[in-house]
Each structure stands twice: as structure tokens, then as C-alpha cells.
Amino acid sequence: MNITFCHKNNENFGIEYMSAVLKKNGHNVSLIYYSGLFDDGYINIAGMGKLFYNEEKIIKKIINTDPDILCFSVFTDEYLWSCRIAEFVKKKIDPVIVFGGIHPTSVPEKVIKNEYVDVVCVGEGEDALLELCNNANNANIPNLWFKRDGAVIKNAPRPLIENLDDLPMPDKDLFYDKMPELKKGVDYTIITSRGCPYRCTYCCNHILQNMYKGITDKYYRKRSVNNVISELETAKIKYRPNSVMFFDDMFISSEDWVKEFSTQYKKKINLPFLCLGISDRYTENVVKLLKYAGCVQISMGIQTVNDVIKEKTLKRPDKLRSIIEATTLVKKYKIGLSVDHIFGIPGESEEDQAAAVNIYNKMKPNIINTYYIKYFPKTEITQTALEQGRITSKDVEEIGDGYGKSYFEGGNINLNIYGPYRFLFGLIPIFSAKAINRIVKYKLYKYVKPTSFFSVVLPRFVASFFYKDIRVKRFFLKYLCLYNYYN
């Protein structure tokens, strides 16, 4: 069978794994990719974006792959775009159109109503999509919702893939052949686990944990060290990356895993790497092991410095004290520090942002990644915002339909309040603590237009220039490869 994936903006691990499974079982897989240049959340310039986006060309490319099945792995921010492409394709040819990913998983009852969507995949897609490809007439496949004779068949989710080592290595070539920035040797992205042990209210993981309750005993799963190293050994030879980024929500599963990993990684891979995680996992021994292995940057999701908001609204286990202890350790071992912060969390005040400025100015992270709160469908924080009157029932419906700004553009908040702070946070890694204190004292950041390129992109670019942030390199390289994407 011919299976075509259509995707926008970024490399997608889910598509890479599904492609690997399908190819292993004799199916033909194609990818139609749209870069999202000047339409990617960070930089949105409609006039420029049109130079790098030709909808008719995308549809023609899809048709030329002669797909039996056309698949979209959909995040909420790309949902409307995916719907539009699917609708136009359906008018010209009639493949089976499958929508999967976190948005359809969250609101399958909405997505299946679209006349141009034939199947919705809820949860992990590898086994479900393979079964569909092997027998497209079977409407009783776990994880899949079908339309049949005017009715919707809602098949229950199957258990999660328990042993991730059983999966084939991801089909990286699918994206590397379409994204010229990946061929620059900047970094190799990899994921060593699925799921997350925590239940942050703004994240999709608690939705998935609820969905799989009673179906799967173990939601958070980790690949073996040998399996991870095997993928990286192949990648090192094939792609010659300069560095590695571990994209796990929680890279550190246990100290024993980190100890085994650090030994093998140092011996067999020995490339600088970045990892993500929450502060309470970074003990001194863990940080020491990561440093030995070659870790050059740790990214921590802090989101807010208000412990009450953190515990009651976000349901995060990390407190400010553990954050300070962990970031102090990271600095002690001379590892780069990147932190994430969310503006506009329900219950937060402007005073909380001022407190965050003071803490970050003392902490001095190398990068502060800032986001505006966005309420995603079926998340607990969306329900909290509804109960507090911050959003309406109509807003909740529109969230499920994919409307609204991304959390880079402004999400669900008033930019005039928080926009200047985003600019100020961007300056903290660049300027001395004394200089930041002067900027705060005279409120100079208040004069910056919150939606300007100067306030949104420039501080991040400058910080990345002074400190070589692995995670940001790929974003800027995409724009350096403009010619390759020109239509």
C-alpha cells in the first residue's frame, strides 16, 4: 500500500516511528512537508510566508504519491491547516484520510465529524496504522474510530507498547530528505522514552494517563541504554551530527539508568548533548554523571516561581527551593542552563512576574524560553480557566476546533500586560544583573511594543548567539536555508 504523511513545521518522532514500522512490513511511505516559514508561531509575516507556501503545489505533491492512505499527525496549532489540506485533497482524489496525534486523541468526537476525515487514531499509532494498511476494510481495529453507513464506530484503545526496544529505529531519512537544515550536521534529535511520570495540568500527558487508566499498568516507559546507544551509533556514522538533543519530557528515569548511559555514551558516542527534565531529578550525582557524559545544556521547565500556583494550578511537584538547588548544581558543574517560563497562568499576578525577574536575574540562565498560556482541549487547566471565568463555554468549543493563537503569539492572554516582560526575560541572560536592575528600576521594558520582532525574536537570537543553544540552532538554520524552500 502507498501511505503518505503530510506534515507542517517540525520533525515528528511519531511519523518517523510509524514510517519505520510500515516500511518494515513492506508498505511504501512518502512525506509531503511544509516548512512553515514565516508562519511558525515565532515569526508570522503573512506576506513573506506566501513566498514559501503554495497550497496547490502541496496538494499536487500529495496526489503524485498516489496515496491509498493519507495521514496527518496533528498538533492543535496545525489542526486547521491539516483540515484545509485534507479537504482539498478529498475533492480531487479519494484516499482514506487518517487524523492522529494529540489533538485528535483529545477530541476525537470533534475530528471524526469532518466530512473529509475517514478515520481518527486515538493514542499510539504504530500497530493501529499497520493493521489498517494490512486490511483497510476492517473497522474493528483498536485505537481507530471509523465512519460506516452514517454511524461512527469507536474502537477502544489497545494497551500501550510496553517494551520500546521492540520498535524499529525511527525513519529519520523521511524528514532529513525534506528539511535541508537537518543536513547541516547541527544536531541529532532522539527520544528515549514515552509518557511522563507527572500530571501537569497544561500538558497532554494527564489526558493520556486518564485515557489509559485500567488499560495499561505502565504509562511512562524507557528504552534500554543499549537500544539508545545503538541508534546513536548509526546516526553518528550516517548523519555526522555535531551534537545530540534528547527530547524526552523527562530524560532522567533513574540514577541507575543515567549511570549506565553516561558510561556507554562517553565511550561510544562522545558528542555534546542537551536534555530536558524537572528540577527534583537533578541530584548532585546525576548532574556529575551528565557532565562526565558530555552534557552541555540542561533545560528545566520552571513555568512559575509562585509555589502555590505551581502546586494547586499546575500540579507540578517541583518547588522553588528544589529549582534553586538544581540550577545551582548545574552551574557548579559548568553545564549550560535553559529554563521555560509561562506567562498568564490563572491566578498569577504581575507581582509574580516581577518576582521571577529577580530570581532569574540571580540564577542567570543562559536561555529563558518564554511562552504565553494557551488552553488546549481537554486539559485540566482549560477547565480551571472556565470555572474561574477566564474563558467561556464558547471558547472551550473553539479550542477543540483548533482556533486561537499559539503560545508563541499570545495564546489566551492580554499581550499588553505580559509582552514587555517577555522582552525583559530575553535580556536577563545577556546583560549583567546590575544592568537588569537598572532596566527594572526605570521600567524601560514597558516602552517595548509586545508584538514587535524586536521584543519577541531579537533577545532570543542574541542570547543564542552568545550561548550556542542546541535547541534554537535548528530554528535559525531553517531560515538560513530559505532558498531551498522557495516555491
Burial-class residue 12 by CB neighbours within 10 Å (0-12, 13-18, 19+): buried
Q: Which DSSP helix (H) or strand (E) runs through 219?
A: none
Distances (CA, A) of 2 to 27, 133, 372: 6, 9, 40
Q: For 101, list phi and psi in degrees, rounded to 5.
A: 105, 180
Distances (CA, A) of 133 to 28, 240, 366: 10, 34, 47
* Dist CA 373 CA 376 (whole Å): 9
pLDDT tens-digit readout, 93-150: 999 999 999 999 999 999 999 999 999 999 999 999 999 999 988 999 999 999 988 8
Q: What is the pLDDT of residue 352?
A: 95
Q: What is the mean pLDDT of the chain?
A: 89
pLDDT band at 456 (very low <50, low <70, confident <90, very high): low
Q: Are 427 and 392 in contact (CB under 8 A)?
A: no
Q: What is the pLDDT of residue 132?
A: 97
Domains of the chain: 2-154 (3.40.50.280), 179-373+413-485 (3.80.30.20)
Q: What is the pLDDT of residue 150?
A: 85
pLDDT band at 426 (very low <50, low <70, confident <90, very high): confident
Residue 150: other Cβ atoms inside 10 A: 5
Crossing angle for the helix pair 284-293 and 320-332, nearest 10 degrees?
Answer: 40
For residue 119, give the C-alpha cell.
Answer: 478515520
With residues binned 3-state (H G I as helix, E B as strand, rest as coil), the percentages for the chain, rounded to 5, are: 45, 15, 35
Q: Are 144 and 121 in contact (CB under 8 A)?
A: yes
Q: Which residues contact 342 (CB under 8 A, 6 or more apart)?
A: 202, 303, 304, 370, 371, 372, 373, 407
pLDDT tens-digit readout, 283-334: 999 999 999 999 999 999 999 999 999 999 999 989 999 999 999 999 999 9
Dihedral, CA of residue 190, residue 195, residue 198 and residue 200, to nearest 10: 90
Q: For the chain, report the end-to-end CA distance as a whole number of angstroms.
A: 30
For residue 267, give the C-alpha cell.
Answer: 565511550
pLDDT band at 457 (very low <50, low <70, confident <90, very high): low
* Dist CA 186 CA 46 (whole Å): 28
Pairing of strands 69-73, 96-100: parallel
Q: For 296, list phi and psi in degrees, rounded to 5.
A: -110, -10
* Dist CA 20 CA 33 (whole Å): 17
Q: Which DSSP helix (H) or strand (E) runs through 109?
A: helix 108-111
Coil, helix or strand for 243?
Answer: coil
Give me the residues paired with residue 148 across strands: 151
* Dist CA 73 CA 114 (whole Å): 16
Q: For 298, list phi and psi in degrees, rounded to 5.
A: -115, 130
Indicate whether 165 pLDDT > 90.
Answer: yes
Q: What is the pLDDT of residue 269?
A: 97
* Dist CA 136 CA 53 (whole Å): 32
pLDDT tens-digit readout, 11-55: 999 999 999 999 999 999 999 999 877 777 667 766 777 777 788
Give me the residues paired with residue 98 across strands: 71, 119
